[in-house]
């Protein structure tokens, strides 16, 4: 399809398989933006303060999210920590928790309690394999451990391979993959290894992320050729690659008042997440990286909705759909709480995007 000139399209409601919804007032502001951006199924990250390391904490958090957005299906995760034992995994499986997120200690926002030695968790991974829980990887090594000339993500890829070889039946997601090498590494693994691709990594590169705090996130956007590899993977029709926005809100003041290079990592895309994926693809066509023929209804539906649901063993459709129409709408600069005390800047503010209307199943 010719997205650039298309006036109207209909898509199934998006499944966003990597979201940060935070807590407190920030949560109250951010959770409603899921549906604003066309999402009715979301895999929720556990990097709260304190991190969600017990099943009871996860279930309590899920209750709070459901109270704010009763029409969204929240898939929940635990934060991998020494207290997450094989017994915890059994309890998590019974409670319907679907994944466990591994943050290398110190790699990103709220990862202080993360993993220092992956091998110490092999018993936990074996239990996850047995109970069919997904292992969600923040696939980066610490800066001190990356060899010269290699990105933090590329240096992590041998670990992905080792984990897959050691636990061949464990479902693994390499979250927010950002490099051509990661795309290839995921393809080389079996069908139970997939990867999420964000909206923002389809349009940002290191040149944006270095200098604009609203484009700064982990993993850092990479070279144009890496971005282009992600665009190709997103429209490849390969079900290993599905959408996970990694939309990560931070107070606007923390982004604007921090010294250059010190702003917290995270790009906020949630209120326009479906439209931002379409914008990234549209720009990919304009640059000649992907073609109009790549943008079929089937491939868009696969990437934005079906493949993620399939990986997480959900029905392939929720029955809800989205009507997207060109009406000259522009991305608002920020979203705010009623009192104005919480405000979050949105990625690509001012860009013209499709307007979104829900078509809910009867």
Q: Contact, 100 vs 111, CB < 8 A? A: no
| Exposure b/e, 275-296, CB count within 10 A at least 16 = b | bbbbbbbbbbbeeebbeeebbe
Decide: 193 and 164 in contact? Cβ < 8 Å: yes
Q: Which position among 9, 26, 118, 265 is part of the footprint of ligand NCD (CB under 6 A)?
A: 265
Residue with tokens 């943050």: 103
By C-beta, is 266 or 302 nearer to ligand NCD?
A: 266
Length of the chain counted residue by residue: 362
Site for Zn ion in 236-265 (CB under 5 A): 246
Residue 237 CB burial class (10 angstroms; 0-12, 13-18, ≥19): middle
The residue (of 62 and 77) whose beta carbon lies closer to ligand NCD is 77
- Closest approach of ligand NCD to the CB of residue 54, in Å: 19
In whole angstroms, the minimum distance from the beta carbon of 140 to ligand NCD comes to 8
Phi-psi region of 128 (alpha: psi -120 to 50; beta: other; left: phi over 0): alpha
By a kind-dependent CB cut-off of 5 to 8 A, residue 266 interacts, out of Zn ion, ligand NCD, none, with: ligand NCD
| Residue 218 touches ligand NCD, criterion: CB under 6 A | yes
Among 51, 99, 114, 266, the residue binding ligand NCD under the rule CB under 6 A is: 266
Judged by beta carbon, residue 195 or residue 290, the one nearer ligand NCD is 195
The correct pick among 81, 138, 171, 200 for binding ligand NCD (CB under 6 A) is 138
- Which one among 23, 36, 85, 109 touches ligand NCD, defined by CB under 6 A? 109
CB of 329 to ligand NCD, least distance (A): 26
- The site for ligand NCD (CB under 6 A) is made up of 20, 47, 108-110, 138, 217-218, 246, 248, 265-266
């Amino acid at each position: 399809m010719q997205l650039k000139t298309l006036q109207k399209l209909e898509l199934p409601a998006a499944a966003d398989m990597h979201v940060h919804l935070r807590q407190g007032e920030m949560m109250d502001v951010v959770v409603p933006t899921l549906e604003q951006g066309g999402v009715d199924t979301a895999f929720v990250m556990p990097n709260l303060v304190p991190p969600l390391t017990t099943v009871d904490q996860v279930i309590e958090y899920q209750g709070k999210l459901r109270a704010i957005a009763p029409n969204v299906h929240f898939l929940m995760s635990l934060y991998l920590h020494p207290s997450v034992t094989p017994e915890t995994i059994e309890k998590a499986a019974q409670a319907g928790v679907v994944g466990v997120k591994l943050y290398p200690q110190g790699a990103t926002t709220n990862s202080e309690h993360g993993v220092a030695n992956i091998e110490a968790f092999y018993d936990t991974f074996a239990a996850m394999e047995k109970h069919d829980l997904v292992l969600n990887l923040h696939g980066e090594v610490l800066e001190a451990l990356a060899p010269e000339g290699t990105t933090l993500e590329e240096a992590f890829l041998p670990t992905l391979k080792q984990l897959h070889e050691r636990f061949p039946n464990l479902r693994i997601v390499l979250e927010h993959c950002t490099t051509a090498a990661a795309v290839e590494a995921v393809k080389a693994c079996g069908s139970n290894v997939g990867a999420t691709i964000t909206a923002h990594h389809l349009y940002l590169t290191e040149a944006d992320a270095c200098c604009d705090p609203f484009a700064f996130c982990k993993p850092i956007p990479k070279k144009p050729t890496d971005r282009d590899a992600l665009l190709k993977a997103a429209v490849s029709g390969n079900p290993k690659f599905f959408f996970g926005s990694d939309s990560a809100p931070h107070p606007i003041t923390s982004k604007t008042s921090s010294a250059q290079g010190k702003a917290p990592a995270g790009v906020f895309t949630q209120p326009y997440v479906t439209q931002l994926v379409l914008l990234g693809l549209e720009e990919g066509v304009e640059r000649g990286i992907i073609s109009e023929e790549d943008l079929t209804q089937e491939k868009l539906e696969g990437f934005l909705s079906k493949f993620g649901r399939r990986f997480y063993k959900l029905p392939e459709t929720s029955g809800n759909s989205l009507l997207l129409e060109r009406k000259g709408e522009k991305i608002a600069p920020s979203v705010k709480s009623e009192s104005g005390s919480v405000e979050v800047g949105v990625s690509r503010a001012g860009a013209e995007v499709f307007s979104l209307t829900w078509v809910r199943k009867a």
